[in-house]
Structures are given as structure tokens and as C-alpha cells.
Amino acid sequence: MLPLPAVLTDFFSLIFPRVCLGCEASLGRGEEHICTDCRAQLPYTDYHKLPIAENPLAQRFWGKLPVRHSLSYLRFLRHGRVQHLLHQLKYQGQQDVGRVLGRWYGHELLEAGFASAFDLIVPVPLHPRKLAKRGYNQSDSFAEGLATSLGCAWHAAALRRTSYTDSQTRKNRLQRWQNVAAVFEVADTSGVLGKRVLVVDDVLTTGATLEACAAALLAAGAFEVSIATIASADR
Ligand SMILES: [Zn+2]
């Protein structure tokens, strides 16, 4: 089928307006999912450009686990575009948010010298009950986008949850750590053995979830583990 002439595309977008997943402004011609303004205004961390000793995200894992690269594309800010994007990704079925941000971030990482830094990208898994309810894991699309840009493999089922975790929201910091300890296990041991694995999630708050995943991967024989999230909250 031939592509629609621009006049028809414009006509269709009058009837079915395409809006930005970050700010809900109408998307212009050539804009896909996230508008140019949002792309320019998003609060990028640029942690991947910092020496490890100066990376505030890396510092959170010091003395706990050897994490090779600690990466996060955006700073998590409430009531802004980042929260809106993550809400669309997690609760409105907009997996394009993860794919687009993953592809953009992957390009940036490539340019910063991460071209062959990882052998495998692994999303933090949802509990099967939650997965069944939501229909998708919001971290999968981010893993897919990153893998596309970095030219690297990703494996949605490399990790699995061992038990159901209660909502984290009413727990204090220590209880959250205890809650996620031993919650993850490696489902595909031969797939991670000797690999440099990048574990990805949508948001990093305490870091406990990613730390538990990294611990499971290292215990299963991964060569080294790095972490990357779409956004991270300041402590
Ligand atoms: Zn926008």
C-alpha cells in the first residue's frame, strides 16, 4: 500500500488527534509519540557522561554490590512530563513510551562509547499475577528499545519472581529491603552465564529491586551486572 499523502494524514489526525505522550500537545508532522518540545525539555541525568566516582546513582550501590554501570535516562520529577510519560507507559498501555525512550537512550549510550558494553539486556520481571492483570511488563518495551539501538540481545524471561510482594508504598526503607530480598531468581541460567548483563526497570526509587535482580544474576554466574532505568528519583 502506498503511503497516504500528507493532506490525508493531516485529515486523519483531525479526526483521531495524535497527541504527545509527555504533554498531550498535538503532534506535528514527523513527530512520533513524544513531541520535539518534550524531547528538548526532559530532565536528562547524563550520568553516563560522568566518571563513576561522580555518578550519584553509582554511589547508591557502593558497599552493597559490584554494579559496573549505573545508568538512568531521566530524573523522576513529580507532576511533570516524566511522571506523565511513566503513567502512560504503566497504566495506559502506551508501550511506545518505553520503546522510544529506549531507542533514544540507546543512541546516546552508543555515542558515549557503550557500543559493546553489554551482552544481554534483562527487564525486571513483574509477578505473574500483575502481568496477567496489566497484560504487559512496562520494562519490556524499554529493554526492547535499548536493545534495538545498542544492537544487543534482550531476554524478557531471564529473571522471574519467586513470590508475591506486597505494595511497597506503606513500608519503611528497611522493610522494603527485606521485602525484595530473595524475590528474584534466574530462570535461564545458561543464558546469563559469563555475560555482561544490563538489568532495566522503569523507575529507580530505593534501588532495592534492581539490587535484588543484580544479586540473583551474579549468583547465577553473570560476568558483571549494570543497571539502567527510564527515570530515577533523587533520594
Ligand atoms: Zn510533549
Residue 194 CA, ligand 1 centroid: distance in Å:
41
Residue 163 CA, ligand 1 centroid: distance in Å:
38
Whether residue 167 sits in one domain with residue 186: yes
Q: Determine the structural domain holding residue 70 and report its residue range.
A: 42-232
CA distances from 60 to 104, 118, 179 (A): 25, 21, 18
Q: How many structural domains is the chain composed of?
A: 2
Whether residue 126 sits in one domain with residue 24: no
- State pTM to two decimals: 0.87
Whether residue 156 sits in one domain with residue 50: yes
* Model pLDDT for residues 3-55, shown as the tens digit of each residue: 667 776 666 666 667 899 999 999 998 999 999 999 999 999 999 999 989 99
* Model pLDDT for residues 153-210, shown as the tens digit of each residue: 999 999 999 865 555 556 666 665 555 567 899 999 999 999 999 999 999 998 999 9
Residue 91 CA to residue 67 CA, distance in Å, equals: 30
pLDDT of residue 235: 74
Residue 104 CA to residue 110 CA, distance in Å, equals: 10
Residue 200 CA, ligand 1 centroid: distance in Å:
24
Residue 175 CA, ligand 1 centroid: distance in Å:
37
Whether residue 62 sits in one domain with residue 28: no
Residue 3 CA, ligand 1 centroid: distance in Å:
25
Residue 235 CA, ligand 1 centroid: distance in Å:
27
CATH number, position 75: 3.40.50.2020
Residue 95 CA, ligand 1 centroid: distance in Å:
16
- Helix (H) or strand (E) holding 225, with range, is strand 224-232
Whether residue 53 sits in one domain with residue 9: no
Whether residue 155 sits in one domain with residue 95: yes
Residue 185 CA to residue 53 CA, distance in Å, equals: 30
Whether residue 49 sits in one domain with residue 20: no
Relative to beta strand 159-161, strand 184-186 is antiparallel
Whether residue 29 sits in one domain with residue 82: no
Whether residue 122 sits in one domain with residue 13: no
Whether residue 13 sits in one domain with residue 55: no
Whether residue 209 sits in one domain with residue 123: yes
Residue 16 CA, ligand 1 centroid: distance in Å:
17
Q: Which residue has the cell 531468581?
A: 185
Whether residue 180 sits in one domain with residue 71: yes
Residue 181 CA to residue 73 CA, distance in Å, equals: 26
